[in-house]
Amino acid sequence: MDSITKIKTENLELFYGEVQALKNINLDIKEKEVTALIGPSGCGKSTFLKTINRMNDLIVGCKINGKVIFDDIDIYGQDIDIITLRKKIGMVFQKPNPFKMSIYDNIAYGPRIHGVKKKSSLDEIVEKSLRKAFIWDEVKDRLKTNALSLSGGQQQRLCIARALAVDPEVVLMDEPTSALDPISTLKIEDLISELKKNYTIIIVTHNMQQGARISDRTAFFLSGEVIEYDLTDTIFTNPKNPKTEEYITGRFG
Amino acid sequence: MKKKLDKLAELLFITSAIICVLALLLIMIFIFYKGAPSILETGVFKFLFGVEWQPRAEVFGILPMITASVLVTIGAILIGAPVGVLTATFIVYLAPKRIGNILKTATDVLASIPSVIYGFFGLMIIIPFIDRFLAGGAGGNSILAAIIILSIMILPTVISISESSMREVDISYRDASLALGATKISTIFKVMIPSAFSGIMAAVILGVGRALGEAMAVILVSGNAPFMPDSILAPVRTMSANIALEMGYASGAHQEALFGTGVVLFVFIFIINFIFYIVKHKGGVKN
Amino acid sequence: MSTKVKDTILSLLVYLSSFLTICSLVAILGYILWNGLGALNFNFFMELAPSIITTLLVIFVSILISVPIGICAAIYLHEYAKNKRVVELINFAIDSLAGIPSILYGLFGLVFFVITMKLNWSILAGSLTLGIMILPTIIRVTQESLKMVPDSFREGSFALGASKVTTLLKIIIPAAIRGIITAVILSIGRIVGETAAVFLTVGTVDKVPDGVMSSGRTLSVHFYLLVKEAIGPDAFNQAFGTATLLIIIVLMIVLFTQFLFRGRND
Ligand SMILES: Nc1ncnc2c1ncn2[C@@H]1O[C@H](COP(=O)(O)OP(=O)(O)OP(=O)(O)O)[C@@H](O)[C@H]1O
Ligand SMILES: [Mg+2]
């Protein structure tokens, strides 16, 4: 494969106080691909995801060593503007969390904080983002209603649209479908496959089939380490490490 | 036997709960029963909009008191509500844990200081200050003095209820906003506080009730003149103060007119309670 | 305006407000204690004895009246009530009672307990009035502490065949006792600081009461009268002393309730 590397971690380590949650992670995340992170609960998938947009900065006592290189720049280096970084790297959470405001305002929130004021530009961004998230037709007639009145699956697509509205290059998703019903889950999976044409996507999933269905590459995490990282097909059909095989087959069987 | 005891106990419990309802009814009935005749005798319009209060001549108009109550309440809210909400914001989102705890204790202490002591402080410190620097020696007993004291007195109510409603906001809102590249402060003011809006409204409404009802602290600082105020430095008498000042010695028609004042105050308070009840239940706020 | 400027202004406002809150408290406490601590001596307490005794009596009788009713009402609301309408009505009544200002409690106590029930200005009339006034606090705080008792306690007891009353007395109330004590202490604080409702019902007579039917003057009322009618430095000295005493009492109450809560959180 000769795709371009979008994000590269070098000897990444993370400590929560005394506890080491990530150990020596070296990953190459490729541009415009879907990378899935799998592994048992507590192995550090969410933690890893959050190092990429520096959400761990919020946690008191969290220490990070090593590098996360995004477009040739170390995001933990000096002179990094976190706001620009987070604008470029969007995030979607496990539980849909639309703000307690209208559908329109949810989407316009990001552009507004980044300085877009003109009504016509906002209208345009809102429509474009909702369309990209495959939810425009469902909500176009009620943009002013409260976002919390949407169903869970719609809320999650709204959150994806909200993330897309600030024009990110990468979208991080932490178990985005684990709180949703199967039909909503399928819709989101379709959406992800569509989005990878334009975005680099990293997704944490507990659902093995989901990982196999939608991702190009898969990283298997175990107690803070990456045990194996390869093309998804390889990982699922011909894993090199016995632990990976154990986990995958255990999950299937 | 056991069954019977259970039934008996349940009866005891429900009776106790019903006592609350009965107490409220009793309070309403007796205040209205003693106060309504006076209002009707004077004439509703004349009582509410009369500007003269002369008990000895049996002239009872309480517009000056209503005006005073409304003005000091509005003033106290204009200062106390923003200061209280912003203090709660600090406690919940910005303060290191220890400092937040200190502020919470401070709030509890503010809430428990007797109102007469607030009045005394106003009398000794705020009134001389106003007299000297703002009124040019014309006396410091004024609307302004009452506003300052009341805005401090409503702080604990506003702070503690805003604080608890801010804490109920889903913390993942914060993460979502930060992940979009918002700063901490915009996240707080554009997402977190608006999400706690109904709880904050409830806090402010309770503050209104507290300011409107306060008597003793206000008596000590407001000058108690039953006239229409012409400036923020004018002495005034609120409805609560009117009752507390004269009830001790009033009798006959005078006493009834004081109960009439009580009726009007009660109606104000009841409207506020009702709004609070609606906001609280609509917004699902815990008190 | 750039985000940075806006953020700076908003944070300044937040810090300024918190600072104002702290300053108000420090100014009031500092002023009273600074001027009043010196006044606390044996003589002062002797002169204040009637008010102290009256205050203690009013507290005692109010609590005696209100706490059983409050706890029972809270138990009803939390452990029994099923009918939504009834609960709503009771909750509305409690919220309304909590919102009624003390001067209106005073008016009510005067016309109902003092005049209609012919209790005259007396500790009993005042305590009945205050008893109603503190009911909402007792009920709400007790309810909160009942909420903290895990359902497994109830189920465990029922599973052993215990009746509802036994479960309440042996399991639930003991588990909620900290909250109930907190409710009582908070109410004591409210009574100690109350003036408007008290002077219209207990009266202002400055003597040692000889029973619950006797009139009297609580500390707060005494303080109010001193300040309102103060002539000469002597009265102000007494006023500062009394204020200091009141402040010390409420400070102790706040610290004690915090201690109780801390104990629970551990
Ligand atoms: N804020 C924190 N403070 C301290 N330890 C933490 C914190 N967050 C996570 N951890 C610990 O770090 C380890 C990795 O957690 P993480 O949430 O990244 O796991 P995960 O792989 O996402 O698990 P799951 O599949 O359950 O979401 C766990 O042992 C967890 O207990
Ligand atoms: Mg996780």
- Per-residue 3-state assignment (H helix, E strand, C coil) for chain B: CHHHHHHHHHHHHHHHHHHHHHHHHHHHHHHHHHHHHHHHHHCHHHHHHCCCEEHHHCEECCHHHHHHHHHHHHHHHHHHHHHHHHHHHHHHHHCCHHHHHHHHHHHHHHHHCCHHHHHHHHHHHHHHHHHHHCCCCCCCCCHHHHHHHHHHHHHHHHHHHHHHHHHCCCHHHHHHHHHCCCCHHHHHHHHHHHHCHHHHHHHHHHHHHHHHHCCHHHHHHHECCCCCCCCCCCCECCHHHHHHHHCCCCCHHHHHHHHHHHHHHHHHHHHHHHHHHHHHHHHCCCC
Spatial contact of B127 and B141, defined as CB atoms under 8 Å apart:
yes
* Percentage with pLDDT > 70 across chain A: 98
- The pLDDT confidence band at residue A2, using thresholds 50, 70 and 90, is low
Spatial contact of C32 and B125, defined as CB atoms under 8 Å apart:
no
Asked whether the beta carbons of residue C239 and residue B120 sit closer than 8 angstroms, the reply is: yes
Is residue C144 domain-shared with residue C45, that is, in the same domain?
Answer: yes
CATH 2.130.10.10 holds for B64-247+271-283: no
Q: Is A120 in the pocket of ligand 1 (CB under 6 A)?
A: no
B73-101 confidence digits (pLDDT tens): 999 999 999 999 999 999 999 999 999 99
* Residues from chain C contacting residue B166 (CB–CB below 8 Å): none
**What is d(CA A222, CA C81) in angstroms, rounded to the nearest whole number?**
50
Q: Report pLDDT for C173.
A: 87
DSSP-H helix ranges across chain C: 3-36, 42-75, 84-99, 102-109, 123-147, 151-159, 164-166, 173-175, 177-193, 196-199, 219-228, 232-265
Structure ipTM: 0.92
Phi-psi region of A17 (alpha: psi -120 to 50; beta: other; left: phi over 0): left
Tell how strand A28-30 and strand A19-25 pair up.
Answer: unpaired
Spatial contact of C225 and C217, defined as CB atoms under 8 Å apart:
yes
Q: Report pLDDT for C149.
A: 87
Question: Dihedral sign, CA of A73, A76, A79, A80?
Answer: positive
Asked whether the beta carbons of residue B108 and residue C29 sit closer than 8 angstroms, the reply is: no
Q: Which domain range does residue C141 map to?
A: 41-265
Residue-range domain boundaries for chain A: 31-46+82-248
B166-200 confidence digits (pLDDT tens): 999 999 999 999 999 999 999 999 999 999 999 99
What is the rounded average pLDDT of the residues A206-221? Answer: 92
Q: Report pLDDT for A45.
A: 94
Asked whether the beta carbons of residue B180 and residue A162 sit closer than 8 angstroms, the reply is: yes
Q: Is A21 in the pocket of ligand 1 (CB under 6 A)?
A: yes
- The pLDDT confidence band at residue C264, using thresholds 50, 70 and 90, is low
Architecture of domain A31-46+82-248 in this structure: 3-Layer(aba) Sandwich (3.40)
Spatial contact of C176 and C142, defined as CB atoms under 8 Å apart:
yes
Spatial contact of C253 and C42, defined as CB atoms under 8 Å apart:
no
Is residue C100 domain-shared with residue C223, that is, in the same domain?
Answer: yes
Tell how strand A217-222 and strand A225-231 pair up.
Answer: antiparallel
A176-198 confidence digits (pLDDT tens): 998 888 988 999 999 999 999 99
Is residue C101 domain-shared with residue C182, that is, in the same domain?
Answer: yes
Strands ordered across the beta sheet of A200-204? A89-92, A170-174, A200-204, A34-38, A217-222, A225-231
The ligand whose atoms approach the alpha carbon of A62 most closely is 1
Is residue C150 domain-shared with residue C179, that is, in the same domain?
Answer: yes
d(CA B196, ligand 2 centre) in Å: 27
**Backbone dihedral angles phi then psi of residue C117, each to the nearest 5 degrees:** -85, 0
How many domains does the structure of chain C reveal? 2
Q: Report pLDDT for C258.
A: 86
d(CA A176, ligand 1 centre) in Å: 17
Number of neighbouring beta carbons within 10 Å of residue C242: 29
At C156, which CATH number?
A: 1.10.3720.10
Task: Compute the count of residue pairs across chains B and C with CB atoms less than 8 Å apart.
Answer: 253
**What is d(CA A172, CA B180) in angstroms, rounded to the nearest whole number?**
12
Does the pLDDT value for residue B21 go beyond 60?
yes
Contacts of residue A154, defined as CB under 8 A and 6 or more positions apart, other chains included, come to A135, A138, A139, A184
Asked whether the beta carbons of residue A90 and residue B173 sit closer than 8 angstroms, the reply is: no
Tell me, rounded to whole angstroms, the distance of Cα B270 from its chain centroid: 12
C106-150 confidence digits (pLDDT tens): 999 999 999 999 999 999 999 999 999 999 999 999 999 998 888
**What is d(CA A119, CA A125) in angstroms, rounded to the nearest whole number?**
10
Does the pLDDT value for residue B287 go beyond 50?
no
Q: Is A45 in the pocket of ligand 1 (CB under 6 A)?
A: yes
Is residue C158 domain-shared with residue C225, that is, in the same domain?
Answer: yes
Please give the C-alpha separations between residue A222 and each of A177, A219, A228, C182, C199, in angstroms, as whole numbers: 22, 10, 9, 48, 72
Is residue C33 domain-shared with residue C93, that is, in the same domain?
Answer: no
The ligand whose atoms approach the alpha carbon of A221 most closely is 1
Is residue C65 domain-shared with residue C129, that is, in the same domain?
Answer: yes
Q: Report pLDDT for A145.
A: 94
* Residue among B177, B179, B194 minimizing CB distance to A90: B179
Is residue C118 domain-shared with residue C182, that is, in the same domain?
Answer: yes
- The pLDDT confidence band at residue B285, using thresholds 50, 70 and 90, is very low
Is residue C261 domain-shared with residue C231, that is, in the same domain?
Answer: yes
Burial grade of B121 (CB within 10 A; 0-12, 13-18, 19 or more): buried
Residue-range domain boundaries for chain B: 64-247+271-283
**CA-nearest residue of chain B to C239?**
B120
Asked whether the beta carbons of residue A110 and residue B182 sit closer than 8 angstroms, the reply is: yes
What is the value of pTM for the model shown? 0.90
Question: Dihedral sign, CA of C9, C10, C16, C17?
Answer: positive
Does the pLDDT value for residue A1 go beyond 80?
no
